Amino acid sequence: MGEGWQAGGVIMLPLLGLSVLAVAGIGERVCFWLAIYAQESQVVGRILLSAREDLWGALQAAQLGRNLPAVRVLTAPLLLETPTPELFHLALKHGAERELIGMQRGDRLLEWVMVMAPLLGMIGSVLGLMAAAQETTSLEAKGLMTALTSTIFGLGIATVTVAFYKIFQALQTDQWRLIHLSSNELELIYRQYWQRIHP
């Protein structure tokens, strides 16, 4: 690795920094999504089942999952005191938008790494090609090695980061779908409840 590191030239230091940022961002997002998917669908199902029998009893069913995004969305309107259907809907909508922002945390860092790593790798390529052009025949190979090493390192960082970024985007879409569907179902349950008590 030491030889490859030296062959990559000065661009390897910022590329190393980007790879550390990417690993940290990916690690944080992996932990976030694993914690959610481990229990969320079961807790959401219990909340909706409880809501059909006792709307306010659904709050008790939500206690086990109050750290989960979809559960926080579903419980937001239940914490209001006898809300109108419009207020109930608004609380669901506001909660869903707030959770979406939280799910996107870390995306900007990953996007930044995906853009910067290949660019830095290409800068290394240019520097290596420039060094090769200025040197004698025996040093041409060294310059080309610098170009190729930094390029492959930068592209490697970007490729891994893009893969995880796309996985996280898919998880966000799935999460948004769950929040949207369960919010709509809970709102329908509440509207039926509202019509029973306000004929």
Give the pLDDT confidence of 24-62 residue by residue, as tens digits. Answer: 999 999 998 998 888 888 899 999 999 999 888 888 888
Closest to 117 (Cα-Cα) out of 182, 20, 186, 45: 20
SS3 54: coil
> Encoding tokens for residue 172?
């966000």
Taking the model in full, what pTM does it have? Answer: 0.69
Residue 148's pLDDT is what? 74
What Rg, from alpha-carbon coordinates, does the chain have? 26
**Higher per-residue confidence, 144 vs 115:** 115
Give the pLDDT confidence of 131-174 residue by residue, as tens digits. Answer: 776 665 666 666 777 777 888 888 888 888 888 898 898 888 88
Average pLDDT, the chain: 84
Closest to 147 (Cα-Cα) out of 120, 115, 167: 120
> CA torsion 111→115→116→122, rounded to 10°?
160
Q: Using CA atoms, how far apart are residues 34 and 79, in angstroms rounded to an integer?
A: 27
